[in-house]
Amino acid sequence: MFESLSQKFSNLLRSLSGKSKISEKNISDAMEVIKTALIDADVNLRVVRRFINQTAEEAKGEKVLNAVDPGQQFVKIVYDKMVSLLGGEGSQNLELKGPDVTSVILMMGLQGSGKTTTAAKLALKLSRQGRRVMLAACDLVRPAAVLQLQILADQVKVPLYSEEGAKDPVKVARNALEKARKGQYDTLIVDTSGRMHLDDQLMAEIVNIASAIKPEEKLFVSDAMTGQNAVIIAQEFEQKVGITGVVLSKFDSDTRGGAAMSIMGVVGKPVKFIGVGEKMEDLEIFYPDRIASRILGMGDVVSLVEKAQETFDQEKALKLQEKMAKSAFDLGDYLEQLESMTKMGGIEKLAQMLPGGASISEDDIDKKELLQEKAIIQSMTFSERKNSYIIGPARRKRIAKGSGTNLSDVSRLLKKFEKLRLQMKKIAKNKKYQAALLQQMGVKPE
Ligand SMILES: Nc1nc2c(ncn2[C@@H]2O[C@H](COP(=O)(O)OP(=O)(O)OP(=O)(O)O)[C@@H](O)[C@H]2O)c(=O)[nH]1
Ligand SMILES: [Mg+2]
C-alpha cells in the first residue's frame, strides 16, 4: 500500500528539506509533483484539488518563505494537511458505552468486502481490551455465511448468536441483542449480508436492521482494492443508513491507496480500522498521523511499538511482569523478547514501518537491530544469562569473540540491559509503561 506514492513523496521532501531558501517557484513545482502523485494513487479529484489548494496557500505564506529552515517547515505543512485529509486526530475511536450497557456494532458493505472477517477480528480486539463481546450472524443470504462466522467465532473464542433456519435477519438481530443484554455482554457485533452491487433490497434490509437494534457504531467495510469506487458506495450507505466509521480491508494488498485518502474527504466519515491480512490479529487502528508519515516516507515507529505490544503473548507478559517486579528478569528473557520480535508479521512488515521506510532491506534490520544482540546473548553460558554480574572482562572478551562482535558491543548490550532491568523493576506494575518498555527492548533504534 502507498509504495509508489510514498516513494515520490520522500524523494520530493528530501530534495526540499534542508534547503536554506525556498522560492515560490519551488513550492509551485513541488505542488505539481504532489498533485500528479495523488492522482496516480487514485485519489478522488475533488480531494486532490482541495488538498493542493490548501497546502499551497499555507506554504506560500510568510511562515515558510522566511523560516529558518523553510524546507522543514514545508514538509510539516504537507504532513499536517495529510493528517487532516486522512481524518485528523482522535476520529478513530469507537463510540461504545460503558460496561453495564450493551453497545452494538453493525457491519455493512458489499459482497466480499470483508464484513465477516472484520467482525471476528474486531471481536478479538475488543475482547482483548477486556470487553465482553458477542457476535450475531445476520447474513441469512449466503448459504455458508453462518458457518463461516461460527468457525471464526470459535477461533477468537467469542460466543455467536445464530438461529438455525431463520429467514428474517431483523428478527435475528433483535433476538441477538436481547440475548446479549440478558447475558450482560457489553458489545454485540452484527454481521450482515452483502450484495454484488448496491441494490434496494440490500439497503432496505440494512436500514431495517439498523432501526431495530440502533447500533452505536455502523461500520462500512470496504475493500481497499476497489479504489475510488469505494467512495461512491460509501456515500450511498451514508445517505441511506448513515455510517459512523469505515473499515478498509485488504490494506495489505498492493493497491495505490486512493480510497483511504478519499473517503474522509468526500464522505466526511473517518476510517477507523484497516485490515492488514487474513489472520484474526490483522486488524489495526487507522491512525491518520501514522499513515501520513508512512505516505510521506517518514516511517512509523509508534505503530511498530504498538504491534509489538499486541503480539506480546499475554501469558508470557504476566510471567515477565512477575520477574520484573522481583528483578529476576535476565538476559535469557531478553533473548526471548528479541526472538518474539521476528514473529510480529515478518521483518518485511516491520521494515515498512521503520523510519526510512521501504528502503530498508530485510538484511539491514536483521543485522543491525536483532542479530547482533541475539548473537551476543547466544554466546553466553546459561549462568551468565541468569546472572549478568559475573560477566567480567575475560568473559566479555570470550563472548565478543564467540559472537563475532567487539568488546564494546558486548559492554553496550550489558549496560543497556542493566538500565532496562532497573527501569523494569520500577514500572513493572504500571501497564501504561509497557509500550515504552518495548521500545527499550530494542524495538526503537537507538
Ligand atoms: N489479505 C486480506 N484478506 C482479507 C482481509 N479481510 C478479509 N479478507 C479476505 O477476503 C475474503 C472475503 O472476506 P469476508 O469477510 O468473507 O467478506 P464478506 O464481506 O463477509 O463477504 P460476504 O459475506 O460474501 O458478503 C476472505 O477470503 C477473507 O479472508 C484483509 O484485511 N486482508
Ligand atoms: Mg460475510
The pLDDT tens digits for 215-245 are: 999 999 998 888 778 888 899 999 999 999 9
pLDDT band at 342 (very low <50, low <70, confident <90, very high): low
pLDDT at site 120: 97
Query: What does the block give as the cell for 216?
Result: 452505536
Ligand whose nearest atom lies closest to the CA of 111: 1
More reliable by pLDDT, 439 or 190: 190
Tally of CB atoms within 10 A around 226: 20
pLDDT over threshold 60, residue 435: no
State which ligand 1 atom lies nearest to the alpha carbon of 194. 25
In a domain, 142, yes or no: yes
288 and 341 inside one domain: no
State which ligand 1 atom lies nearest to the alpha carbon of 275. 31
Q: Which distant-in-sequence residues (6+ apart) come within 8 Å of 225 by Cβ?
A: 250, 253, 255
Q: Using the mean position of ligand 2's atoms as its centre, give its distance from the Cα of residue 342 in Å.
A: 32
Q: Among 250, 274, 295, give the residue marking a domain's end.
A: 295
Q: Using the mean position of ligand 1's atoms as its centre, give its distance from the Cα of residue 117 in Å.
A: 5
More reliable by pLDDT, 64 or 428: 64
Highest-confidence range of 146-150, 316-320, 335-339, by mean pLDDT?
A: 146-150
Instruction: Read off φ and ψ for residue 132, nearest 5 degrees.
Output: -95, 110
Ligand whose nearest atom lies closest to the CA of 114: 1
H/E segment holding residue 323: helix 314-325
pLDDT at site 90: 65
142 and 288 inside one domain: yes
3-state SS, residue 340: helix
71 and 187 inside one domain: no
Q: Using the mean position of ligand 2's atoms as its centre, give its distance from the Cα of residue 178 in Å.
A: 22
The overall average pLDDT reported for the chain is: 80
In a domain, 97, yes or no: no
Contact of 4 with 55, CB cutoff 8 Å: no
CATH number, domain of 279, equals 3.40.50.300
* CA gap 273, 109 in Å, rounded: 14
Question: Whose Cα sits closest to atom 5 in ligand 1?
Answer: 250
pLDDT over threshold 50, residue 81: yes
Model's pTM, two decimal places? 0.68
pLDDT at site 375: 85
More reliable by pLDDT, 238 or 336: 238
Contact of 325 with 337, CB cutoff 8 Å: no
Provide mean pLDDT across the span 45-62.
86
Contact of 87 with 220, CB cutoff 8 Å: no
pLDDT in tens, 96-112: 887 789 999 999 999 99
Q: Using the mean position of ligand 1's atoms as its centre, give its distance from the Cα of residue 112 in Å.
A: 5
In a domain, 30, yes or no: yes
Tally of CB atoms within 10 A around 277: 18
CATH number, domain of 30, equals 1.20.120.140
H/E segment holding residue 189: strand 187-192
* CA gap 283, 76 in Å, rounded: 29
81 and 149 inside one domain: no
In a domain, 283, yes or no: yes
pLDDT at site 217: 96
pLDDT at site 311: 52
H/E segment holding residue 134: strand 133-138
The residue among 256, 363, 352 whose CA lies nearest residue 297 is 352
* CA gap 267, 24 in Å, rounded: 33
* Helices vs. strands in the chain: H and E counts, helices first: 22, 8
Contact of 345 with 378, CB cutoff 8 Å: no
Q: Among 85, 114, 135, give the residue marking a domain's end.
A: 85
What proportion of the chain, given as a percentage, has pLDDT over 70? Answer: 74
pLDDT band at 298 (very low <50, low <70, confident <90, very high): low
269 and 324 inside one domain: no
Instruction: Read off φ and ψ for residue 165, nearest 5 degrees.
Output: 70, 10
* CA gap 160, 394 in Å, rounded: 61
Q: Using the mean position of ligand 2's atoms as its centre, give its distance from the Cα of residue 194 in Å.
A: 7
pLDDT at site 334: 74
pLDDT over threshold 50, residue 404: yes
264 and 327 inside one domain: no
pLDDT band at 304 (very low <50, low <70, confident <90, very high): very low
pLDDT in tens, 407-417: 999 998 898 88
66 and 164 inside one domain: no
In a domain, 96, yes or no: no
3-state SS, residue 160: strand
Question: What's the order of all strands across the beta sheet hosting 271-275?
Answer: 160-161, 133-138, 187-192, 103-108, 217-223, 245-249, 271-275, 283-285
Identity of the residue numbered 127: S
| Strand pairing category for 103-108 and 187-192 | parallel
43 and 165 inside one domain: no
142 and 279 inside one domain: yes
Highest-confidence range of 81-95, 343-357, 399-413, 421-435, by mean pLDDT?
A: 399-413
In a domain, 91, yes or no: no
Domain that holds residue 163: 103-295
Q: Among 295, 314, 347, give the residue marking a domain's end.
A: 295
Radius of gyration of the chain (CA): 25
Q: Which distant-in-sequence residues (6+ apart) come within 8 Å of 226 by Cβ?
A: 113, 233, 259
Domain count for the chain, please give it. 3
In a domain, 93, yes or no: no
pLDDT at site 347: 46
pLDDT at site 69: 62
pLDDT at site 42: 82
Question: Whose Cα sits closest to atom 29 in ligand 1?
Answer: 278
pLDDT over threshold 90, residue 389: no
- What is the residue whose three cell numbers read 478522488? 44
pLDDT over threshold 60, residue 446: no
pLDDT band at 358 (very low <50, low <70, confident <90, very high): very low
- Measured at the CA of 29, the angle between CA 26 and CA 30, to 5 degrees, comes to 85
Contact of 65 with 22, CB cutoff 8 Å: yes
Render the burial of 376-388: b for 16+ CB within 10 Å, e for the rest: bbebbeeebbeeb
pLDDT in tens, 110-145: 999 999 999 999 999 999 888 999 999 999 988 899
162 and 114 inside one domain: yes
What is the largest distance, in Å, between two alpha-carbon atoms of the chain? Answer: 78
Which protein residues touch ligand 1 with a CB less than 6 Å away? Answer: 109, 111-117, 139, 142, 145, 194, 249-250, 252, 275-278, 282
Q: Using the mean position of ligand 2's atoms as its centre, give its distance from the Cα of residue 167 in Å.
A: 16
State which ligand 1 atom lies nearest to the alpha carbon of 274. 31
In a domain, 333, yes or no: yes
pLDDT in tens, 238-294: 999 999 999 999 988 766 677 777 888 888 889 999 999 999 999 999 988 888 877
3-state SS, residue 433: helix
* CA gap 285, 303 in Å, rounded: 9
CATH number, domain of 415, equals 1.10.260.30
Question: Whose Cα sits closest to atom 25 in ligand 1?
Answer: 111
pLDDT at site 399: 92
266 and 329 inside one domain: no
* CA gap 29, 426 in Å, rounded: 53
* CA gap 223, 111 in Å, rounded: 10
135 and 24 inside one domain: no
